[in-house]
Structure 1
Amino acid sequence: MTKFIRAVALDLDGTIIGPDEQISSGTAKAVSRLAKLVPVFINTGRERWEVKRYGTELGLTSPQVCDNGAVIIDPLSNWEPLWHALLGSEITTKVLEKIQRERLSFIATSGRESVQDISMALGREFARISVLDVKEDQADKIMTALSATTEIQVAKAWLPYNELWAVDCTQVGVDKGSAVRKVGNLLSIGTRHMACVGDSYNDLPMFRECGLSISMGGAPKSVEEEADFVVPPVTDDGLVEAIKDIILPRLEIGD
């Protein structure tokens, strides 16, 4: 078996944590063990403080990714941002006005704060704006409408804690795949030497970028089809199997 993996990217919701938003003891042990061997980083659409919470629990020390690739943070510097890509104030206003017209719930985050009040968000720069808690058919319609604003990139993600969907808006070219490249540059590791695990549409850019991709069971069919391997769902500790049976045997660890 070829040994080529030198770093690992992990989605959060539906991969590390389940619908209860907790890390199982088996998953915690497997990820912590892996992180002692190679750099492991969370790559999620969630906010910085959520990554800090779970990353601290797992003992992660490599650069971590939040806001669907728009913010990279450093656990060794009190989880402060190392890099971010912001949507300009004119673009955010266009997006927020569309959200306001449809009376949709949203969150806008800069990597340092989050805003859910439209009056406090208009005219400001943000790393990510997300429409929250919509059904999948509505998410598809929102993606189509927001895609008309060519200055943004949109992606949808399933929210396992309420079984609804979110639509994430970031700067053009910013997604989980671009984040893998950024972290790779920081670590001096090429993305072909990375493995990744995820479960939703916003993980596809990461799947396409990494040398090894693993889908959690229960992911949309098109997500599973793009992965090199499929493991059981998060509720059955699929990440433990991914690490033990697929990633660990392929680790390239220096002498």
Structure 2
Amino acid sequence: MSGPGQQPIRFLLCDMDGTLLQPDHSLSPRTLEAVRALRDAGVLFSLATGRPPKAMLQQIEALGVDVPTAAFNGGTIVKPDGSLLVAHYLPATAALTALALFADQPGVEVWVFSGGDWLLKDPNGEMVPREQHGLGYPPVVVESFEPYLERIDKIVATSNNAQLLIELEAQLSPKVEGQAQVSRSQPIYLDVTAMQANKGDALATLAEYLGVPLEQTAALGDGGNDPAMFHRAGLSIAMGQAEDAVKRQADVVTAANTEDGAAQAIEKYVLLR
């Protein structure tokens, strides 16, 4: 993170859920226009999200994104032609530790993402309809996660009990220190990914690939997985509805996603520079 000086912004990396997208997962006309204005101004634009790659395709097309995008919090970076630029998998030992901690927690559903599939044991979980709506495709029901341990992109513990997820994050982080990243991408989602799967490294990788100095990059987000890119970007912008701990790590704060905060940030902090 650095102060908002006068360096021109040549590349903006943007979170999706809670940032670019409205609560119903749609893109507002103002947001579409703001991203179009970025492209017209010659500013590169891409997405960094906890979502799987195929859950980004509709937004990539709508926004006209023509550079690599970062899925699974940066664990997978995909080129526009669908080929992989980067792929980092969660170590099996860390996966087993997380799954053991999450097992039988009251009110917590556990999902595993592997090989492009969303895996779960209980298809009737309370959180499933929301996720299916957001991803745009259904889960695969499995009896066990063990056959997938060697190629897990992300484990998610999800619950409407946000305080419980805070407590689980605090419990799990020291258990997998040096092996995995643990962060709440949203108050109701606790993500576990490979150490290299973080948006800060994703920003650095994409900037190098695109030939843009980090000083001329901007990062925009709202979740606990976004400060990793805030600390690497030349300009960092937090959404208005973000938790205070996230806002404190950004250079500036824009409006909430319900108020087209992403579009406002693009107009005020990127295009005007």
- TM-score (structure 1 length as normaliser): 0.88
Q: Which amino acid aligns with 2:145?
A: A
- Aligned equivalent of 1:152: 180
Once superposed, which parts of structure 1, at least 4 consecutive aligned residues long, lie more than 6 Å away?
Answer: none
Q: Within the alignment, does 1:121 sit opposite 2:145 as a pair? A: yes
Q: Aligned-pair distance for 1:109?
A: 1.7
Q: Aligned-pair distance for 1:88?
A: 2.7
- Aligned equivalent of 2:22: 18
- Contact 2:158 2:165 (8 Å CA) reproduced: no
- Aligned equivalent of 2:36: 32
- Aligned equivalent of 1:67: 72
Structure 1 range deviating more: 96-105 or 180-189: 96-105
- Aligned equivalent of 1:221: 244
Q: Within the alignment, does 1:137 sit opposite 2:163 as a pair? A: yes
Question: 2-side partners of 1:176 and 1:97: how far apart?
Answer: 26
Could you say if the C-alpha distance between residues 217 and 57 of structure 1 is closer, same or farther in structure 2, counting changes exceeding 3 Å? same
- Aligned equivalent of 1:7: 11
Could you say if the C-alpha distance between residues 138 and 185 of structure 1 is closer, same or farther in structure 2, counting changes exceeding 3 Å? same
Q: Within the alignment, does 1:239 sit opposite 2:242 as a pair? A: no
Taking only the aligned residue pairs, the percentage that are identical comes to: 27
- Contact 1:17 1:234 (8 Å CA) reproduced: yes
Question: 2-side partners of 1:169 and 1:121: how far apart?
Answer: 15
Gaps in structure 2 of 5+ consecutive residues: 122-141
Task: Select 2:49's aligned residue among 44, 47, 72.
Answer: 44
- Aligned equivalent of 2:103: 100
- Contact 2:7 2:215 (8 Å CA) reproduced: no
- Contact 2:227 2:246 (8 Å CA) reproduced: yes
Structure 1 range deviating more: 127-136 or 40-49: 127-136
- Contact 2:72 2:197 (8 Å CA) reproduced: no
- Contact 1:47 1:111 (8 Å CA) reproduced: no
Could you say if the C-alpha distance between residues 198 and 97 of structure 1 is closer, same or farther in structure 2, counting changes exceeding 3 Å? same
Could you say if the C-alpha distance between residues 133 and 167 of structure 1 is closer, same or farther in structure 2, counting changes exceeding 3 Å? same
1:179-194 equivalences in 2 (<5 Å) = 179-194=202-217
* 3-state DSSP of counterpart to 1:131: strand
Question: 2-side partners of 1:35 and 1:115: how far apart?
Answer: 36
- Aligned equivalent of 2:130: none
Gaps in structure 1 of 5+ consecutive residues: 159-163, 251-255
Q: Number of paired residues? A: 243
Could you say if the C-alpha distance between residues 135 and 157 of structure 1 is closer, same or farther in structure 2, counting changes exceeding 3 Å? farther
After superposition, the C-alpha distances for 1:126-163 in whole angstroms (9 at most, x for unaligned) are: 121111134221111111222212321100122xxxxx
After superposition, the C-alpha distances for 1:158-193 in whole angstroms (9 at most, x for unaligned) are: 2xxxxx511111112431111111111221222221
Question: 2-side partners of 1:185 and 1:129: how far apart?
Answer: 28
Q: Aligned-pair distance for 1:120?
A: 4.1
